[in-house]
A and B are shown apart, each in its own frame.
Chain A
Amino acid sequence: MSDPAVALWMLGILVFAIMIGFPVAFTLMALGVGFGFYAYFQPAQQFFDNRVFYLLTQNTFTVLNNDALVSIPLFLLMGYLVERANILDSLFRSLQVALRGIPASLAVATLATCALFATATGIVGAVVTLMGMLAFPQMLKAGYDSRLAAGVVCAGGCLGILIPPSIMLIVYGAMASQSVVKLYAAAMIPGFILAGMYILYVLAVGMFKPHLAPPLPKEESRLPTAQVLVMLAKSFLPLAVLILSVLGAILAGIATPTEAAAVGAFGAAVLAAAYRSLTWKALRESMVLTARTSAMVCWLFVGSATFASVFAYLGGNVLIKEFVLGLDLNPITFLLLSQAIIFILGWPLEWTEIIVIFVPIFLPMLPHFQIDPLVFGVLIAINLQTAFLSPPMAMAAYYLKGVSPPHVLLTQIFSGCMPFVYIVLVTMVIMYVFPQTVLWLPSVLYGN
């Protein structure tokens, strides 16, 4: 058997082992070591002189030394601290009061709360469950269609993995050797377009199908504007300032992502203290969860680094590249095909697995099709929103189901998410037709 054929077996076994549910990091490492031993085998050598062992430790050390990955635990810690700062109730309440007059105001307030909170935490599950307990019952009580209400909570909660500072873009940057700073700049406008389209959709529902999102009863006494402003200043402003200063420092090039994330984590602790939520328990929980989630992400890198180098050494990359180039696709078809594959992979897999294992297969082909890796990365980040929203593995839907009243069915939540999945797809089309939405901000900030 030729070496590239062996590489295909390697990939096949990987996909099979992942599908039967073994932790991906260890599957990657084992296949890398096993096939690497075969690839580097020289009969005269002692067993442990095989180059694969050197490769394994060297790759592990490289992950330990990776510039981009250092910021991951810091952003995670910031997220876990904000999550425990007990800020969500007052944030939602003040936005709800402030937006009272507009159509479908509860849903818009929910989306806005989700967007801001999810951006700060970057964690999907917590936002959806918290808002599922806080906003979802209120919308149901106000007579909202339960599908619409469910879709709003799920879609809003997922925005955090797209809008910077998101962990996903750091991981993509590390895989694609792209600057995280540029990726953040590239994702800003598409992130806002997506959030904006969500809000427009909800507004349109409120205006044209008011029976799905009835306006709140008028007789409830309106609070004076000054009081609303005070409420916003107490809840909305501190969180917004925290995020904007972290992002601003990164985008303006004042601080590296790592430095900004460290200051952001410190700021989150101060914020939690200001809301009297910085208990020993909250701090300890945040630390432990940060360690666990970082370990999960970084061990994936340890496994994939060895797998990828052995796969490439065997000629697997070249084989796949030649195959795809041999199909003689034009750039549009390639882009559609690759995004469609990622969309489908998003059903059974989580974003970490997709970005660490499957995205690197497409990356070497981008120059041939003259696709900017920034555009490709942001497209993926938007595309993977659907991974959380579409069945069968829609995590967001399951989280919401877990905290919602029993009469809300999982199928209703799924069908509520569908309009938002379509909006995601429309946003991707917009980005494809107008790539300036991605490239304009990086080019203004950093030239070419």
Chain B
Amino acid sequence: MISRITYAIDQVSKSIGHAFSWCGLMLVLGTCYEVVVRYVFNDPTAWAFDLSYLMYGALFFMAGAYTLSRGGHVRADMFYRLWPERVQASVELVLFIVFFFPGITALLIAGWGYGTESLRIREVSVNSPAGIPIWPMKMMIPVCGALMLLQGFAEVLRCIQCLKQGSWPSRLHDVEELEAQLLEEAARKRAAGQGAS
């Protein structure tokens, strides 16, 4: 039951993270278009600069919860990784409650006032006369806070599950860094080689 909930939340974070990762492509194409029209045709756009901020902001901000679900936020695991899994889970559980939830809740609540105010006046960018709306970016702060809280809840469930069964439950299969793929492959080959010999 617990793992059904954590998988469902992981899936939500993953879908949103994957969807917003394509903002990276928009960022590349938008900026390249601007480079061509500015330097080749000497006719810069009014919107490319603001677009690049919007895309970059959406990219990293909306991927925050997804990165959390993949364990991708940087940590110093020099001691952490030496501990038994139950100890890891209990430390993490306490720190999620003491650090993570208060900080992110503050972001959500304060960001809500900040974002809705911007939405109310339909705030636009002052960088250019094109009037690119920037309220979506400010609204992203509370939305992202909510997503982070949801994913944090899943991480807490995962800690509890680990405390119960003594080992970390498996995560969703997903895109991995190339080195992680290669290392996994090498380990599998080595295990297979030992089995055969």
Docked Cα-Cα span, A70 to B28, in Å, equals 11
Name the one of A29, A60, A348 contacting B76, with C-beta atoms under 8 angstroms.
A348
Contact between A294 and B60, CB atoms less than 8 A apart: yes
Interchain CB contact under 8 A, B75 and A70: no
Say if the beta carbon of B158 comes within 8 Å of chain A.
no
In the complex, B57 has a CB within 8 A of chain A: yes
Which of chain B's residues have a CB closer than 8 A to the CB of A402? Answer: 179, 182-183, 186-187
Contact indicator B104/A29 (Cβ below 8 Å): yes
Q: In the bound complex, how far is the Cα of B27 from the Cα of A291, in angstroms?
A: 12
Q: Is the CB of B59 within 8 A of A23?
A: no
Q: Is A352 an interface residue (CB 8 A)?
A: yes
Q: A77, B95: Cβ atoms under 8 Å?
A: no
Does the CB pair A53–B32 fall under 8 Å? no
Give every chain B residue within 8 A of A295 (Cβ-Cβ). Answer: 17, 59-61, 63-64, 66-67, 72-73
The answer for the CA separation of A413 and B21 in the assembled complex, in Å, is 37
Is A329 part of the contact surface with B, judged by Cβ < 8 Å?
no
B166 at the A/B interface (Cβ < 8 Å)? no
Q: Does A20 contact B (CB under 8 A)?
A: yes
- How many angstroms between the C-alpha atoms of A254 and B25 in the bound complex? 23
Q: Mark A3-42, 1 if CB is under 8 A from B, else 0.
A: 0000000000000011111111111011111100000000
Interface string of A282-307 (1 = CB under 8 A from B): 00110111111111111110010000
The size class of the interface chain A forms with chain B is 35 or more
The chain B residue with its CB closest to the CB of A285 is: B175
Distance of A238 Cα from B34 Cα, bound (Å): 24
Q: Is the CB of B178 within 8 A of A130?
A: yes
Contact check, B74 vs A29: say whether CB atoms are below 8 A apart.
no
Closest to A399 in B: B179
Contact partner, A294, options B59, B91, B98, Cβ 8 Å = B59
Nearest chain B CB to A44's CB is how many angstroms away? 19
Q: Which of B32, B78, B111, B174 contacts A262 (CB 8 A)?
A: B32
> Which of A19, A24, A262, A293 has most B Cβ within 10 Å?
A262
CB contact list, B147-197 vs A, under 8 A: 174-175, 177-180, 182-183, 186-187, 190
Q: A30-B100, A126-B178, A295-B72 are contacts. A21–B31 as well, Cβ < 8 Å?
A: no
The reply to whether B67 and A262 form a contact with Cβ atoms under 8 Å apart is no
- Please give the distance in Å from B174's CB to the nearest CB on chain A: 8
| Bound-state Cα–Cα, A73 to B30, Å | 14
Interface size class for chain B? Answer: 35 or more
Given A255-B35, A292-B63: A300 and B114 interface contact (C-beta under 8 Å): no
Q: In whole angstroms, what is the CA distance A174 to B175 when docked?
A: 29
B-binding segment of A61-69, A315-323, A436-444: A61-69
Instruction: Assess whether A259 is in contact with B60, with CB atoms less than 8 Å apart.
Output: no
The answer, yes or no, to whether B146 is at the interface (CB within 8 Å) is: no
In the assembled complex, the CB of A198 is this many whole angstroms from the nearest CB of chain B, namely: 21
Say whether B57 contacts A22, CB under 8 Å: no
Please, what's the 1-or-0 string for B62-89, where 1 marks a CB less than 8 Å from any CB in chain A? 0110111010111111111100000010
Contacts of B91 in A (CB 8 A): 20-22
Task: Considering the complex, give the chain A residue whose CB is closest to the CB of B64.
Answer: A295
Bound Cα distance A118, B21 (Å)? 24
Interface assignment of A107: CB less than 8 Å from any CB of chain B: no
Contact of B99 with A262 in the complex, beta carbons under 8 Å = no
| Chain A stretch 72-102: residues in CB contact (< 8 A) with chain B | 73-74, 77, 83-84
Whether the pair B76, A21 counts as a contact (CB closer than 8 A) is yes
The answer to whether A57 and B110 touch across the interface, beta carbons within 8 angstroms, is yes
A291-B59, A399-B179 are known contacts. Are A24 and B24 too (CB-CB below 8 A)?
A: no
Chain A residues with CB under 8 A of B107: 29, 56-57, 60
Chain B residues within 8 Å of A, Cβ to Cβ:
17-18, 20-25, 27-32, 34-35, 39, 52-53, 56-57, 59-61, 63-64, 66-68, 70, 72-81, 88, 91-92, 95, 98-100, 102-104, 106-107, 109-111, 113-114, 137-138, 140-141, 174-175, 177-180, 182-183, 186-187, 190
Beyond A21-B79, A26-B103, A57-B141, 7 additional pairs, beta carbon < 8 A:
A19-B78, A23-B75, A61-B141, A77-B28, A287-B25, A303-B103, A350-B76
